[in-house]
Chains A and B, each alone.
Chain A
Amino acid sequence: MSNITDLTLVDLVEKIKKKDLSSKEITKAYVERAEKSKKLNTYITEDFNNALKKADNFDNSPDFDKKIPGIPIAVKDLFCTKNLRTTAGSKILENFIPTYESTVTNNIWNEGGILLGKLNCDEFAMGSSNETSFFGNVQSPVAEKLVPGGSSGGSASALAAKLTPTTIGTDTGGSIRQPASFTGIVGLKPTYGSCSRYGIVAFASSLDQAGPMTRDVKDCALMLSIISSYDNKDSTSINFKREDYLKKLNKSIKGKKIGIPKEYRVEGMPKEIEDLWQKGITIAKEAGAEIVDVSLPNTNYALPAYYIVAPAEASSNLARYDGVKYGFRSEGKNLIDMYEKTRSEGFGNEVKRRIMIGTYVLSSGYYDAYYLKAQKVRRLIKDDFDDVYKKVDAILTPSTPSTAFKIGEKTNDPVSMYLNDIFTVPVNLAGLPAISIPAGHDQKGYPLGLQIIGKAFDEQNILNIAYSLQEEVNFKNKMNDWWM
């Protein structure tokens, strides 16, 4: 039998149901591998002893009717977990232990999942390389000193390095899809309103969405079925009929109209990305899809609009971290002094930068020129997609304009860092679902991803297309466990 940690989630579930494997065996295998992988710095908080105990408990009275019975899972440290420290990658929440559970993680535990621990991420999910975390860089298992992407960098790295069979991240402007692309895994951002935001540390409320990060598309369908739910504790949660995405998963790409947006052919895009995109188009065509050239004319304005809307919301969402009620406090002479010291010492530079941008764009006299205009752009971007979806069933693009870069390479150039999000950000602004699947490698052997963007609530369709492409692409991870 192959290594336990090599198995996909769906295979693990099958083996545990057949009693080929116990929860304890699986959990132990992951814990052992994680113990040997500290160099990657994927975990902020390990909960291995508890996980092993829970696995024992599961094995003593198993319930195989659950969707992921006894499966250990590590999650991004942006999800509040009851009685287990939740930091959002920030010093300001360094010792924060929630008394409550996020709806998304709760859904996972209800289906038999077992918490392994909390995974590193950019501070408050602000970053594209996992370099803004108070708890340090995460290294990509792809190569030494390579960023795993961000903000769900710890999740991507842990999953790609086989330290967890599956994981979840959050995606505000690409934070699931970009690291998935960088590490050669599958990542899906669901339609806004699919997964409850209750109990997820907020970054930008109108954009944040939790989603699965998995080894392959089947696992992705399974995880989405588990985490997607209507929740009356989140006013933006949408009550629509959710499919059993795994059960309905099929390779029905034949006859599907797939749009290729010309605006995504950006200047300076490396040839290998261009080639990858072409490869995807060819595969889709050969599988029977109809390729349609489309235009999303306002794509160019998506990134600037995003970097107004997201910081604006963040500047307000992060006001609650003031040292008064919980979290880090630095004593001051008076209230204002305490605020200033607490927030100066508690937040990192990227977070401060975005709070300042957000505060600026909402200020009186600037609101109309920035925030209001950005909201109008957002509307136009959504209209672009609506127009295109009158003609096509899905849109195919590269996930990122480049492959992974070295740690430190872009830290002094925030704009070039932000540019990493150009293909992912429009999707968040429009509230649409999109999946990134690994599709190839660059010359250095770093993975590259393709993104399939769907209509709102059309997750099944993009999963099916991804499922077809995945088979034809036949992506092989070239990981060599260099860190062990």
Chain B
Amino acid sequence: MLKKQSDYLITRNKNNYEVVIGLEVHAQVLSDSKLFSSSPTKFGAEPNTQVSLVDAAFPGMLPVINEFCIKQAVKTGVGLKAKINKRSIFDRKNYFYADLPQGYQISQYKDPIVGEGSVVLDLPSGEKTIGIERLHLEQDAGKSIHDIDPQNTLVDLNRSGVALMEIVSKPDLRSPDEVNAYIKKLRSIMRYLGTCDGNMQEGSLRADVNVSVRKKGEKEYGTRCEIKNVNSIKFMQMAIEYEANRQVDVIEEGGSIDQETRLFDTKKNETRSMRSKEDAHDYRYFPDPDLLPLDISDDFINDIKKNIPELPDEKKKRFIEKFNLSAYEANILVSDIETSKYFEEVIKNSDVKLSTNWITGELFALLNDKNLEISKSPISAINLSKLINLIKDGTISGKIAKSVFEIMATGNKNPVDIVNEKGLKQQSDPKELEKLINKVVNDNPDKVKEYKSGKEKLFGFFVGQAMKASGGKANPQLINDILKNKLK
């Protein structure tokens, strides 16, 4: 088990330091087209094949808001239990870079579309609520590629103009483990909502990490450093660990922390200063005059609210109450929307307890082994459900079921067919079993004698012999019952 979360402290010279973390998560909006143009957003397309005149900032081109992206942002806001702002404003964030064709990024500065909300983390120590400061919409930049041409930097504008949601947390996180739980929960909620696929390998989810430290018990926050653009949970955790320790070292040596932007070097596992506060860009934010303030109506918001699916927290609650699952089991089953869908499909026709055990046990082991997402599971929910029913109605034993499961894993075969073809059906005819047991008893008179004289451990030997004689197919419960009678 994990350590108790609140225990994450850094100790130097008997001083205990608490680490304070806030995240700015950049989540790519799940949308077929970009925030202000109709260009497609498919990942992995040939460079510069998904670029419109608007994305490349040709003279006279104007942004036109994609209403679907607005819906997605509002939906996410609702999922974060956040205030939806009926009026929000798109601003220009001005800076020059080769992969920023307009010379500014359209973002939201003072008036974001979503205000304060919260996310509940399920930690081993219990639940913890993390505050959300805001969520705003903005355009992604293109991509500068420095390692293809030795002389030149190449620019791919496919990503230019793709819609991002920047989700800013309050500085409520206190450890790398909490950051892990937070990102996973955020991703889980967005995947339930269908507003972000959360795919970190493809860059759909990245974060700027703000880290500061303070002596335990202090009320004031320390000076923070921002670690830019970290694209995996593991790297976030490594970066926080390194950065927090660095800051503690500076303070313990009598120094002070400079507010600055830092980069995490994944190869050297260290953060490096990128620019100080003094060198910070002056982005010259101002409302984008090409776009009117975004006004959304109550109807628009209510329509979205009506169609919000059951989210992980509610689903967990329902699983615990309705199916009598433990919090631990419920957490595992709801954390990923695909897992919860799979689970609910299996239990439509099958025993909940058995289903839970088989999914979190055998199925997860199989997926883990094959490194597959549950949506790519070689065993469909329907077939797993059939397998569980074969166990439940006594057609096969749990042991046989495991070998049937193994066969299923190679080609999603119907377990009923496998059992029939291989003759794995459990022997549950008492007369047949009695014959079998009689033979075992008759063949081992010495053992019977010993058993009857008090060596009760030998019971297992008889069960084993009977099972062996049945080729493993005998119903173990019946074997038990009949044997007990015989050996009385």
Q: B-contacting residues of A (Cβ < 8 Å)?
A: 80, 86, 88, 93, 96, 98-100, 102, 197-202, 204-206, 232-236, 312-313, 315-316, 318-320, 322, 324-326, 335, 339, 359, 362-364, 367, 371
Does B367 touch A at the CB level, under 8 Å? no
- Tell me whether B102 and A320 are in contact (CB under 8 A): yes
Does B103 touch A at the CB level, under 8 Å? yes
Within 8 Å CB of A362, what residues of B?
Answer: 94, 284-286
**13 A-B residue pairings within 8 Å (CB atoms):** A80-B60, A88-B59, A198-B60, A205-B290, A233-B62, A235-B291, A315-B94, A316-B94, A316-B104, A320-B103, A325-B57, A325-B58, A371-B286
Within 8 Å CB of B101, what residues of A?
Answer: 320, 324-325
Chain A nearest Cβ from B146, distance in angstroms? 11
Complex Cα–Cα for A235 and B61 (A)? 11
Within 8 Å CB of A205, what residues of B?
Answer: 289-290
Q: Which B residues between 283 and 342 are near A, CB-CB below 8 angstroms?
A: 284-286, 289-292
Counting contact residues on chain B (CB < 8 A from A), the size range is: 20 to 34
Within 8 Å CB of A335, what residues of B?
Answer: 97-98, 153
Does B282 touch A at the CB level, under 8 Å? yes
Tell me whether A320 and B57 are in contact in the complex, defined as CB-CB below 8 angstroms, given that A233-B62, A235-B291 are known contacts. yes
**Of the candidates A93, A199, A316, A359, which one forms a contact with B92 in the assembled complex, judged by CB atoms under 8 Å apart?**
A316
Does B221 touch A at the CB level, under 8 Å? no
- Tell me whether B62 and A234 are in contact (CB under 8 A): yes
Ranked 8 nearest A-B pairs via Cβ: A319-B103, A205-B289, A206-B289, A362-B284, A199-B60, A320-B57, A201-B59, A80-B60
- Tell me whether A363 and B62 are in contact (CB under 8 A): no
**Of the candidates B62, B94, B155, which one forms a contact with A235 in the assembled complex, judged by CB atoms under 8 Å apart?**
B62
- Tell me whether A204 and B286 are in contact (CB under 8 A): no
Chain B nearest Cβ from A103, distance in angstroms? 9
- Tell me whether A198 and B62 are in contact (CB under 8 A): yes
- Tell me whether B104 and A364 are in contact (CB under 8 A): no
Further contacts, 8 of them, CB under 8 A, given A236-B291, A316-B104, A320-B101: A198-B60, A200-B60, A202-B60, A205-B290, A313-B289, A315-B284, A316-B92, A324-B98
Does B250 touch A at the CB level, under 8 Å? no
**Of the candidates A96, A235, A320, A367, which one forms a contact with B286 in the assembled complex, judged by CB atoms under 8 Å apart?**
A367
- Tell me whether A322 and B59 are in contact (CB under 8 A): no
- Tell me whether B56 and A93 are in contact (CB under 8 A): no
- Tell me whether B60 and A201 are in contact (CB under 8 A): yes
Chain B nearest Cβ from A76, distance in angstroms? 12
Chain B nearest Cβ from A204, distance in angstroms? 7
Q: Which B residues between 70 and 120 are near A, CB-CB below 8 angstroms?
A: 92, 94, 96-98, 101-104
**Of the candidates A80, A233, A363, which one forms a contact with B59 in the assembled complex, judged by CB atoms under 8 Å apart?**
A80
Chain B nearest Cβ from A448, distance in angstroms? 33
Within 8 Å CB of B103, what residues of A?
Answer: 316, 318-320, 322
**Of the candidates B60, B98, B102, which one forms a contact with A319 in the assembled complex, judged by CB atoms under 8 Å apart?**
B102
- Tell me whether B104 and A324 are in contact (CB under 8 A): no
Complex Cα–Cα for A86 and B58 (A)? 12
- Tell me whether B289 and A204 are in contact (CB under 8 A): yes
Tell me whether A322 and B96 are in contact in the complex, defined as CB-CB below 8 angstroms, given that A198-B62, A367-B286 are known contacts. yes
Q: Which B residues between 132 and 165 are near A, CB-CB below 8 angstroms?
A: 153, 155
Specify which of A98, A324, A359, A367 lies most central, judged by the most chain B CB atoms within 10 Å of its CB.
A324
Tell me whether A319 and B104 are in contact in the complex, defined as CB-CB below 8 angstroms, given that A232-B64, A235-B291, A362-B284 are known contacts. yes
- Tell me whether B59 and A197 are in contact (CB under 8 A): no
